[in-house]
Amino acid sequence: MDENLIRPKELKYFGCAIGKYEMPTNLIKELNVIFDEHKDSKKLFSYGQNLAGQIKEEWDALNLLNKDVIQFFKNCIFNYLYLTVSKPKVIKKISINSCWFNDQKENEYNPLHGHSGKSILGVSSVLFLRIPLAIKNAKQKNENEEPKDGRLQFVSGVKNFFTVNAYCIDPVVGDFYLFPYELPHTVYPFKGEGIRRSLSFNADIYL
């Protein structure tokens, strides 16, 4: 039998939906400038006590976001919910309750973890703001394996013959990801100089 003649009537994939968006370059520059200015003037507040990461520089950023950045985030959230929630019209309120940025350096990492907020339902995010050459040029000893250094990896479900339970993301400046609170994820360490800067927030969803 010619396998090319066989087509499924329908094929469904089960699992969490991850939304990928791209932040405009001017907003990326604005965020990096304001974060650097606040770091230089030592006006940042540590947020590490609230996080799972083994990263020294984890800073509160909730009050550093301008209206254009907040609007971009909200537009992405509404689009993500519209595409992933079966009845998006029942959503009454979306509230960003926390926001922070990480300046990850050599050998630092984020262990496998999930997020939470004031509501049971919510979305979390990762925005890449700065990626060092040490990550971009990283290679595995096994040439058949994709690099893991400094990568963000999502893990969901149980791996078997028909499914893949891990999704590894190659960090690119400007790429912005949205995902459910409960989706486990981790960030691998990297070797070499430079800073891997990312921003994350938690947004509660009220029905």
* Secondary structure (DSSP) of 150-202: T-EEEE-S--BTTB--EEEE---TTEEEEEETT--EEE----SSS-EEEEEEE
Q: How many CA atoms lie within 13 A of 138 on its CB side?
A: 23
- Please give the pLDDT value at position 207: 80
Average pLDDT over the chain reads: 90
Residue range 161-176: average pLDDT?
89
pLDDT in tens, 88-142: 567 788 899 999 999 999 999 999 999 999 999 999 999 999 999 999 999 888 8
172-204: per-residue pLDDT in tens?
Answer: 999 999 999 999 999 999 999 999 999 999 999
State mean pLDDT over 22-50: 96
Share of the chain above pLDDT 70, in %: 91
Q: Is the pLDDT of residue 51 over 50?
A: yes
Tell me, what's the pLDDT at 174? 97
Mean pLDDT of 56-71: 96
pTM score, two decimals? 0.91
Cβ-contact 76, 175 below 8 angstroms: no
pLDDT for 1 equals 44
- The answer to whether 181 touches 202, Cβ cutoff 8 Å, is yes
Residue scoring higher pLDDT (102 or 81): 102
Give the domains, in start order, of the chain with CATH numbers.
Answer: 17-206 (2.60.120.620)
